[in-house]
Structure 1
């Protein structure tokens, strides 16, 4: 296909400026959608952002630390109304104070003993009160209890906490070894607990709208500019219709279901030329269209066949046949158009198409006459004589030529006659057609043929419908249809060599 000249022109300065604006807004919309995904997933993934540890297989103690990731929790916790839980934060503060005291002064001091007893009490309270319920991290407490039981080799988490924080156990095992156990396996589970505030509506505090509002205002400005550009391009369009053309941008302005912004963001990136979605769209649309086409064809087939069956089974079938008569019609213009169409085509077929086929018709008639004479007139012993065969062939040719010339002369004369308007001929033809439909309708009304014909035709259509559906189901594999479409679309034309890979 030849490219139009206007497509080869460089875009104007204004068009380039709007394209740069569209690309900028598309990039901003993509960044906003990335933030939306982060905001939606922040609460479920807060433990990951807090500790930056990846657990590929949750059932195994396999940890992949990611220390190069920044700790975003101090910055984003206030946006979600998250503050440290008083109980777990007090537990962490008391443990670090005890750890510092023991590292500096050892386990033999009375103050260290007091700190150990206090930490035992806090650990037992942590197990009994379960402050993790408020943040939805009840599983963290179960992990904590299991690790305490496994470390102390006992069935009770409370007894394990008291044993692991007792002075005799720490003196026997050494504080350095036990300290690593608490810092690496127990305290990280305590750190993930938090408290989230409740706003006046009874919902968890969420201030992310403060971040999203500037984006929404920018998107609203862009929608207004796009509407104005469309109105300027098509002055006849109404402002309401121009604005409705941008219905796909509605998710950009909604504060709920923000994940739907993937639709307008993808559309903007594609229109700005930043991503190429045409191959994916073609694949998806081809599958959907192929499936819908098969379903639609089945529905149309059923409706057409059912309509024909209802028409055939109707007791008013003779009246409908009689309605084909010209005097029964209501649209006289339709009758005149049909008569005019016949008046144009009949002379064309009789005076031009038929005479131009004289050689073919003559050869066909000669062959048929020769076969007839050879089988019926000439005795079998004389059929092999060369002179008789030549005479028979000449006679067949002469008869065929005379017959064809007579028929073509008659058809040409009839065609020339039909080219001229003949009111008498039109009246006689109209009366003949009307008489045919009248006699057919009267014969159906008087005899038993109508009911039997209706049954046979309805049964024939039912069998046709079932056989058609069976054939469609047998050949109705969508994948096979898509492969056939791919073959038609990507196969080289016949006669052209295939391109080597």
Structure 2
């Protein structure tokens, strides 16, 4: 169907271009115009057609009786009259080719040297005296090469009762429209069966772009479904174009959307502070705090407990040698700076004793500290006392923060601080190049997609080397 749609699009584009490009077609493909002119209700204009027929009759008469015969003089007089009528009536206007008539008049004036009147120029040209003086063959060749092609492109196009030009292209287009309509209905029924929740209207608009193939107007828009069909058939690769369009849309809307989101969040925080909710946040009374708990778990305390256990049982044992090394270095530095050590430094074996003493002290300190931390962690009484201390500290801090003058000052400072963030952030955001941000995002995605491939290749190479 993609190929059939492409053929239909080519026919539609040719039909749209036929009238504007008819001059080109009639000069290079005259057989084509003889076939397609009836489709567009185009026929030779009677006046210009009669003019060219009279010229042909003149040529035939000259070949039979000679240029100076009375029959030729009569034909020349008729052509002079027809030239005047053509200039006065302008039969080219109906085909929107008045410029062609002006070109004919200019060429005729330049040929005979008449600078004022085009009618006089035609009268001189179609005279026995002029043709005898300049040569019949030379002048009739000029007419056939320079004037006839301009006259022959003129045409008459029939007009319907609605005032529009008659166009029979629908006869060519109708079989394609029927085919595309049947395909759209069949595809819509199939989509509706696959998705029972869809209405038939939604199923049709699942492939909304196919509707352009059914419209008898705006035929140039058929390029949209044709290109999409060719892409689905993998005849064209439109991925780079789609990506560029998506980036353009995102670049146009990302800045405004980001600004709106940031400003709304800051405005909501400012509104909460102005409504006095800061006092509720600082309060430890559960009845005052309107906080929604979904699992009856204090997530902050749970996270803190997990972090403490991880640090005590997993992190500290691994870094204990490094901690001991740091303590040993500090102890050695303190001993060397002591005045007694300086006086006894010359005694033999003192350096070894100092090193051994530093190692023992560092090891004992780190061991006792780690044991104290583990004991404090595992001691329920100590944990309870620590929790009470933290809770009491929070309550005391919250109580003092709720003092009227302190709370009011903090609220004003927070509101001003948020306003400054809003102004400065939004200004920097508007000045930032969204295309540059999108390009950086694209590069990041490319790096992330390439990295797994590199890791996989490295693993394969390592396995081969081991084997």
Taking structure 2 as the reference length, what is the TM-score of the superposition? 0.81
- Name 1:107's counterpart in structure 2: 67
The answer on 1:139 being equivalent to 2:99 is: yes
SS at match of 2:297: helix
Structure number having the greater helix percentage: 2
Post-superposition Cα deviations, 1:419-467, rounded to whole Å, max 9, x if no partner, equal x9x9998787666545544443448735745544654565466556656
Residue 76 of structure 2: aligned partner: 116
> Deviation of residue 122 (structure 1)?
0.8
Partner of 1:51: 27
Provide the residue aligned with 1:348 in structure 2.
310
The worse-fitting range, judged by mean Cα deviation, of 472-481 and 130-139 is 472-481
Is contact 1:80–1:208 with CA below 8 Å preserved after alignment? yes
The answer to whether the 8 A contact 2:212-2:222 is kept is yes
Offset from partner CA, 1:457-495 (integer Å, 9 cap, x none): 65466556656766x449938778767877887899599
Q: 1:112 to 1:78 in 2, by over 3 A?
A: same
- Are the structure 2 counterparts of residues 290 and 398 from structure 1 closer, same or farther at C-alpha, using a change threshold of 3 Å? farther
Other-structure match for 1:363: 325
| Further displaced range: 212-221 or 288-297 | 288-297
Offset at residue 392 of structure 1 (A): 5.2
Partner Cα distance (1:374, 1:466) in 2: 58
Matched, 1:95 2:55: yes
Match of residue 66 from structure 1: none
User: What is the alpha-carbon distance in structure 1 between the residues aligned to residue 421 and residue 53 of structure 2?
Assistant: 89
For residues 294 and 441 of structure 2, the distance between their equivalents in structure 1, rounded to whole angstroms, comes to 44
Matches of 2:48 and 2:82, distance apart in 1: 9
**Cα separation, 1, equivalents of 2:206 and 2:374:** 62
User: Residue in 2 aligned with 1:408?
Assistant: 370
Bigger mean CA offset, 91-100 vs 214-223: 91-100
Assess, with a 3 A threshold, how the Cα gap between structure 1 residues 382 and 97 changes in structure 2: closer, same or farther. Answer: farther
Q: Structure 1 residues 468, 83: CA separation in 2 closer, same or farther (over 3 Å shift)?
A: closer
1:22 equivalent in structure 2: none
Aligned counterpart, 1:281: 239
| Alignment counterpart, residue 158 of structure 1, candidates 116, 119, 130 | 119
CA distance in 1, matches of 2:155, 2:109: 25
**SS across alignment from 1:357:** helix
User: What does 1:7-406 align with in structure 2 at a 5 Å threshold?
Assistant: 25-52=1-28, 69=29, 71-155=31-115, 156-234=117-195, 237-273=198-234, 275-277=235-237, 280-282=238-240, 284-286=242-244, 288-289=246-247, 292=250, 296=254, 299-300=257-258, 303-304=261-262, 307-308=265-266, 311=269, 315-316=273-274, 319-320=277-278, 322-323=280-281, 325=284, 327=286, 328-333=289-294, 336=297, 338=299, 339-371=301-333, 377=338, 393-406=355-368
Deviation at 1:114, TM superposition (A): 0.9
How far the C-alpha of 1:149 sits from its partner, in A, is 1.1
CA distance in 1 between partners of 2:51 and 2:399 (Å): 104
1:82 Cα deviation from its structure 2 partner? 1.6
Cα offsets for 1:181-215 (capped at 9, x unmatched): 11111111111111222222222211211211110
Change (3 A) 1:220 1:326: farther
For the structure 1 residues 117 and 389, does the alpha-carbon distance in structure 2 shift closer, same or farther, using more than 3 Å as the test? farther
Contact 1:348 1:415 in 2 (8 A): no
Offset of residue 90 of structure 1? 1.7
Question: Aligned to 1:83, what secondary structure does the other structure show?
Answer: strand
Deviation per CA, 1:156-179: give whole Å up to 9, x if none.
211111111111111122221111
1:249–1:426 CA distance, 2 compared to 1 (3 A):
farther
* Change in CA separation of 1:480 and 1:456 when aligned onto 2, cut-off 3 Å: closer
Contact residue 76 and residue 127 of structure 2 kept, 8 A: yes
Structure 2 CA distance for partners of 1:241 and 1:49, relative to 1, 3 Å: same
Q: Pairwise mapping of residues 463-478 of structure 1 onto structure 2 (< 5 A)?
A: 463=424, 472-473=432-433, 476=436
Higher mean displacement: 454-463 or 95-104:
454-463
Unaligned 5+ runs, structure 1? 1-24, 53-68, 497-501
In 2, Cα distance between equivalents of 1:380 and 1:297: 69
Alpha-carbon distance change, 343 to 119 in structure 1, aligned in 2, over 3 angstroms: same
Please tell me the root mean square deviation across aligned C-alpha atoms, in Å: 3.9
Evaluate the alpha carbon distance shift between residue 209 and residue 410 of structure 1 in structure 2; reply closer, same or farther with a 3 A threshold: farther
